[in-house]
Amino acid sequence: MATESIVENTCYYNENVTFFYRMVNKTISTGWNTRDYVVIGLGLTVCVIVLLANLLVMIAIFMNRRFHFPIYYLLGNMAAADLFAGIAYTNLMLHTGPWTRTLTKEQWYIRGALIDISLTASVANLLAVAVERHQTIITMQLHSTMPKRRVVLLIVCIWAIGIIMGLVPTLWNCECDLKDCSTLAPLYSRRFLIFWAVLNLLTFFVMVAVYTRIFIYVKNQSKNTSQQVTEIRQQTVVNLMKTISMVLGAFVICWTPGLVTLLLDGLLGKESHANRYEKYCLFIAECNSLVNPIIYSLRDNEMRRTFKWILCSLCRRGAHPQRQLSLVTRGTSLREEKLGSGLKSEAEALC
């Protein structure tokens, strides 16, 4: 009994990554096969698209003064988080398969930490956007009155939380308890995976609650408004329903498979057979960084016009960017003036 206790309390700090993979019966490819090439090729392709799409969103928000409001600052930060996710996944693709054998434990932890940081920041941004939209719509404002300092503080907090969550596994690991090792991430503690999965699922439910309250409030307001603006309010409700469906639908589709797989791995260990679904869940989660810019940015007409201006500017190197942007903005203002009351613009902004 004493001998067993000593073995259980032994820490394996000097062992390499391969040792922990062997302990959970997770194989590391010794050579390249067709599956490895397909996974890495497809993964890198998605990473490139994620990087370009989110970089385009950040440039658009920076260049167009119409986007210099709290909601767009948060969207820009979310694009930055998704851009970081693209970098993290690129690093993963270049250090997976047979390359895993060459990693030191420090490099392996960094590989996982980059993904944890990016995903935490992305989810936190989604929640921040939901809260900002809730505050704005409840107070019936076009844009939030949140001071820029507070927005900056919020963004700093988002990244601080992401970094903390990325560092937790380096301390909360299974190097001193091999029975607690995860089959998906062999150096991670199964208890950490349970904590991580439950935390993200709770965040998901909070987002559902926030957006549900927004929908109910807007629906009730549309019934109490005057006949003159009823049609616009109804349009707002319809657009809001579409936005909610896209946001929650994308979140569920992209995150639930991975979260459930992590939770099962944490609860059941080897009996969960989580390794069978690891690659698929990781790819779907990666796609979430591509879906976010589409949902929050491409539904905005002004954002689409700015995208078009940026792409046209790249094609016409001799053009004057600031002059072209001012023309785009001026044209937009003229079109908005023709709408009369401007309620339609407000309805679009609320969504």
Q: Which residues contact 112 (CB under 8 A, 6 or more apart)?
A: 166, 169, 185, 188
- How far apart are alpha carbons 339 and 130 in whole angstroms? 28
What distance in Å separates the CA atoms of residue 165 and residue 159, rounded to the nearest whole number?
Answer: 10
Contacts 24+ apart (CB under 8 A), 138-147: 138/214, 138/217, 140/221, 142/346, 142/349, 143/69, 143/70, 143/71, 143/349, 144/69, 144/70, 144/71, 146/70
Q: What DSSP state is assigned to residue 147? A: -
Q: In this predicted structure, what is the pLDDT of residue 9?
A: 60
Produce one character per residue of 235-254: b if its CB has 16 or more CB atoms within 10 Å, e if not. Answer: bbbebbeebbeebeebbeeb
Look at residue 222 in the predicted model and tell me its pLDDT: 62
Minimum mean pLDDT range among 205-219, 253-267, 328-342: 328-342
pTM score of the predicted model: 0.79
Note the pLDDT of residue 306.
Answer: 85
- What are the pLDDT digits (tens) for 185-207? 899 999 999 999 998 888 888 88
Q: Are 160 and 124 in contact (CB under 8 A)?
A: no
What would the mean pLDDT of 334-349 be, rounded to a whole number? 43
Whether 234 contacts 153, CB under 8 Å: no
Helix axes 190-224, 148-171, angle to 10 degrees: 150
48-100 pLDDT, tens digit each = 999 998 998 899 888 888 888 888 888 889 889 989 999 999 998 888 888 88
- Asked if residues 174 and 269 have their Cβ atoms less than 8 Å apart, the reply is no
